[in-house]
Amino acid sequence: MITSILLTGVGGQGTILTTKILSAGLAQMGYDVKMSEIHGMSQRGGTVNTQLKFGDKVYAPNIGEGEADLIVAFEKTEALRALPYLKKGGSILMDRKEIMPLSVLTGAAEYPHEADKELEKLVGAKVIPAGEIAESLGTPKSQNICLLGALVKALDLPEFDWEGLISRMVPPKTVEMNLAAFRKGLEA
């Protein structure tokens, strides 16, 4: 039994660190874990996808279309963009945070503000306002760890010592704020 998770966001949102923490936790729990990321050109303000698969034995590291059990989107339209990867019956965990791509800034495309509503209706997407939670904590950058909290809850793996792991893996100065965001995410 393999669980496939696609994490998607915009360069700079911390999707890769989130995936690293999740992989490390799953590996410590004894799962075989493979994580795949595409970087290079994608970090210049483009979409960033990381893919994680875990189970007894994982072969292929990447997730094809229609294969993801769970999509975690750090940005509203990125959830929409990743939709083809979702398995029928799979679920979406998403932030409603909006980051305008240049195509919208230049007027070449329109931003679909109602994407979260659409995905709620279509596949029962769960919307976690992680960006807003992080901002209310005064630490907008901890959006990713807030989503990690919600993700751990969605995977039903809250009993592992995630807080210890986060403390070791985020920059030392940000431990407290990230732990606060993580707890909020668990409750959300």
Partner 1 sequence: MSGDEAVARGAWEAGVGVAAAYPGTPSTEILENMALYKEDVYCQWANNEKIAVEIALGASFGGLRSLAAFKHVGMNAAADPIFSAAYTGVNGGMVLVSADDPGCWSSQNEQDNRLYAPHARLGMLEPSDSQECLDFTKAAFELSERFDLLMLLRMTTRVCHSKSLVEQGERQEHMGKYTANPAKYAMLPANARKRHVAVEEGLAALKEYAETSPLNRMEMNDRKLGIISSGISYQHAREAFGETASYLKLGITHPLPEKLIRDFCGQVEKVVVIEEGEPYLEEAVKALGIFCEGKAYTTRQGELSAARLRAAFGLGEAAESVSSSLTAPPRPPALCAGCPHRGFYFAMQSYHQRLVAVGDIGCYSLGVGEPFHGFDTAICMGSGFSIPIGLSKALEKQGDSRKVFGILGDSTFFHSGFNSLVDAVHAKANVCLVVLDNSITAMTGHQQNAGTEINLMGYQVPAIDIRRMVRSTGLPEERVLEVDPIDQAAMNAAIQKALGDRETWVILSRRPCALLKEVIKARGDLRCEVDPAACKGCKACTKVVCPALTFDAKAKKAVISDPASCTGCGLCMQQCRFDAIRKVGGKA
6/166 with CB nearer partner 1: 6
**67 within 8 A of 87, measured Cβ to Cβ:** yes
Kindly state the number of chain residues that form the binding site for partner 1, as judged by CB under 8 A. Answer: 60
* Dist CA 49 CA 38 (whole Å): 7
**27 within 8 A of 33, measured Cβ to Cβ:** yes
Q: Does 1 bind partner 1 (CB under 8 A)?
A: no
* Dist CA 171 CA 169 (whole Å): 7
35/170 with CB nearer partner 1: 35
Least gap, CB of 114 to partner 1 (angstroms): 7
x/- mask, partner 1, residues 19-58, rule CB under 8 A, reads -x--x---x----xxxxxxxxxxxxxxxx----------x
* Dist CA 147 CA 161 (whole Å): 16
Residue list 128-187, contact with partner 1 (CB under 8 A): none
Q: Does 118 bind partner 1 (CB under 8 A)?
A: yes
- The residues near 185 (Cβ < 8 Å, ≥ 6 apart) are 128, 130, 133, 145, 146, 147, 148, 149, 150, 151, 152, 153
Measure Cα distances from 154 to 68, 77, 101, 135, 157 in Å.
14, 21, 29, 22, 8
Least gap, CB of 132 to partner 1 (angstroms): 17
x/- mask, partner 1, residues 67-106, rule CB under 8 A, reads x---------xx-xx-xxxxxx-----------xxxxxxx
99/145 with CB nearer partner 1: 99
The position carrying tokens 């874990």 is 33
Would you tell me which residues interact with partner 1 (CB under 8 A)?
A: 10-12, 20, 23, 27, 32-47, 58-67, 77-78, 80-81, 83-88, 100-106, 108-112, 114-115, 118-119, 122-123
